[in-house]
Amino acid sequence: MSILEVKHIEKHFGATQVLNDISFTLEEGQAISIIGSSGSGKTTLLRCLNFLEKPDGGSISVRGETLFDAADPKTQLENEIRKKRLHFGLVFQNFNLFPQYTALQNVTLARELLSKERGGETKEEIEAAGRELLAQMGLADRAGHYPHQLSGGQQQRVAIARALALHPDILCFDEPTSALDPELTGEVLRVIRNLAEQKTTMIIVTHEMAFARDVADQVIFMDGGVIVEQGDPHQVIDHPREERTRQFLSHYAEN
Amino acid sequence: MFATVIGALNEGFLQTLKLFAVTLIGAIPLGLVVSFGSMSHFTPLRWLTKTVVWIIRGTPLMLQLIIIFYIPGYLLESGSPWPSGESGRFLASAVAFIINYACYFSEIYRGGIQGVPVGQQEAGEVLGMTRSQIFFKVTLLQMIKRIVPPMSNEIITLVKDTSIARIISLQEVIWAGYAFLKSSHGYKGLLWPLFFTGVYYLIFNGALTLLFGWVEKKLSYFR
């Protein structure tokens, strides 16, 4: 069984249709890259999966459990959304770290609040886990730094550790390197590559074509709110079948 | 003579400080309630709140004070609801000042809340935090940092605005100073006590300025 099943997702903003009949599945331990030009609906799709936007149609299931079904109001209860969104983690383009907390506190805050509610871990255990995650991101010596004392690449790696701290089933990246200088992009991509090698289930929206091809088991090309082409990374990026995909990729070939 | 005047002015300034403190204690939380009203997704509540804020900010505090102190006495058959004497004048002043300053504070709060990037709220949401956790653990401190400069401005204005309560004869420091010009404690025609009240304001506002500077510095560890 697929870990994620997305079926016929539709989303409108006013009269504009931003997502049109989006369906795909994701297997546990695999990664999907989503490519496409700005405004193609990639980000909106990730926001739907993380319950930051509510789709107008379609359904989302994780491990066979229907988390959202536009046709079933019982799946849209406000007080259950909080629990459901924990299936997903989201790394934002602009990091969105909490500026008043240190790197370590950013990583541990949500987990501490959750374990206060449900019991379980002690503060020390959560902190140890947080330190380990930061070390995994190559930031062991930055635990006590505040976000403004870190470079963009370091901030984004803290944000990745923060998302991982809650053990999401599926980790989503929304253009994780688009706000970074080219020389800082590499360190973030390397971290994501490592996660892929550790079989982290991921959905990665990115403009880095080589990275999208190398890191993913599947590539989706979106345009105008629809999936134009989807399949094996080498096939979609190196030998696209659709004319629209070729056009899009040709802009990257010129650079 | 000097000791007599200072004694009387001290007494007046104590009343000034009391009105200042009570206004802050009432208006700081009430302002938060008003700001939530003015940001409500429930349109009638939002419009009602915005109308009240418009009226309160659009008319002089002095007029509001006069209305709150005198009008109920004309309208109610039972006469003025305010206790007689200084305590009644203080109560009426406190009510008028709290309402007035809550409206000003609410606009500062609104700016502070809306100035925190929406990404902060969303980051909290995707981490499974509740709305109140996001407000208290994420947004509040960032909002406080943003509102310290405009709030310190407003609070220093409040120190001086308390003198407006003289219009309903609240015996604050300017009232006490002016009394020596007319007749007080056996003195008549003394001009300097009135001028000397300015020293009280200067010293107190100087201390507040230092305090706010310290708070701003305390919050400068993050951006």
Domain span holding position B32: 2-221
pLDDT-derived band at A80 (thresholds 50, 70, 90) equals: confident
pLDDT-derived band at A38 (thresholds 50, 70, 90) equals: confident
Closest Cβ opposite residue A99 in set B124, B130, B223: B223
CB pairs under 8 A between A and B: 59
Contacts of B122 in chain A (CB under 8 A): 52, 92, 96
B123 with A96: Cβ contact below 8 A: yes
pLDDT digits (tens, 9 = 90+) for B118-136: 999 999 999 999 999 999 9
pLDDT at A160 over 80: yes
What average pLDDT does chain B have? 94
- Establish if B125 touches chain A: CB-CB under 8 angstroms: yes
- Establish if B141 touches chain A: CB-CB under 8 angstroms: yes
> For the residues B186-203, what does the mean pLDDT come to?
92
Q: Which of residues 28-87 of A touch B (CB under 8 A)?
A: 50-52, 82-83, 85-86
Contacts of B126 in chain A (CB under 8 A): 50-52, 85, 88-90, 163
- Establish if B120 touches chain A: CB-CB under 8 angstroms: yes
pLDDT-derived band at A1 (thresholds 50, 70, 90) equals: confident
A96 with B122: Cβ contact below 8 A: yes
Note the pLDDT of residue A92: 97
> For the residues B4-32, what does the mean pLDDT come to?
95
B128 with A110: Cβ contact below 8 A: yes
CATH, residue B52 = 1.10.3720.10
pLDDT at A255 over 60: no
pLDDT digits (tens, 9 = 90+) for A99-149: 999 999 999 999 999 998 887 889 999 999 999 999 999 999 999 999 999
Q: Which of residues 163-202 of A touch B (CB under 8 A)?
A: 163, 166
Q: Which long-range contacts (CB under 8 A, 24 or more apart) does A208-217 make?
A: A208/A177, A209/A35, A209/A237, A209/A249, A209/A252, A211/A33, A212/A33, A212/A35, A212/A237, A213/A33, A213/A237, A213/A238, A215/A31, A215/A33, A215/A189, A216/A30, A216/A31, A216/A32, A216/A33, A217/A27, A217/A30, A217/A31, A217/A32
Q: How many domains does chain B have?
A: 1
Closest Cβ opposite residue B127 in set A51, A94, A166: A166
Closest Cβ opposite residue A113 in set B123, B129, B221: B129
Would you call B206 exposed, middle or buried from its count of C-beta atoms within 10 A (0-12, 13-18, 19+)?
exposed
Domain span holding position A137: 4-254
Q: How many domains does chain A have?
A: 1
pLDDT digits (tens, 9 = 90+) for A8-23: 999 999 999 999 999 9
Distances (CA, A) of B57 to A80, B10, B102, B128, B207: 42, 31, 10, 39, 27
> For the residues B132-152, what does the mean pLDDT come to?
94
**Which of B13-17, B69-73, B161-165 is least confident?**
B69-73
- Chosen for mutation from B120, B127, B132, B140 (greatest number of chain A CBs closer than 10 Å) is B127
What is the share, in percent, of chain B residues with pLDDT greater than 70? 100
pLDDT at B103 over 90: yes
pLDDT digits (tens, 9 = 90+) for A187-242: 999 999 999 999 999 999 999 999 999 999 999 999 999 999 999 999 999 999 99
Note the pLDDT of residue B78: 83
Q: Which DSSP string do the residues of chain B spell out, in sequence order? A: -HHHHHHHHHHHHHHHHHHHHHHHHHHHHHHHHHHHHHT-SSHHHHHHHHHHHHHHHHS-HHHHHHHHHHHHHHH-TT--SSPSSHHHHHHHHHHHHHHHHHHHHHHHHHHHHHHS-HHHHHHHHHTT--HHHIIIIIIHHHHHHHHHHHHHHHHHHHHHHGGGGGGGT---HHHHHHHHHH-BTTB-S--HHHHHHHHHHHHHHHHHHHHHHHHHHHGGG--
Closest Cβ opposite residue B126 in set A85, A99, A114: A85
Closest Cβ opposite residue A96 in set B119, B129, B221: B119
Residue carrying structure tokens 């470079």: A151
Given the DSSP bridges, would you call strands A31-35 and A218-223 parallel, antiparallel or unpaired? Answer: parallel
> For the residues A71-79, what does the mean pLDDT come to?
86
Report ipTM for this prediction.
0.92
CATH, residue A248 = 3.40.50.300
Comparing CA positions, the residue from A79, A81, A103 lying closest to residue A165 is A103
pLDDT-derived band at B80 (thresholds 50, 70, 90) equals: confident
Q: Which residue of B has its CA nearest to A93?
A: B119
Note the pLDDT of residue A254: 61
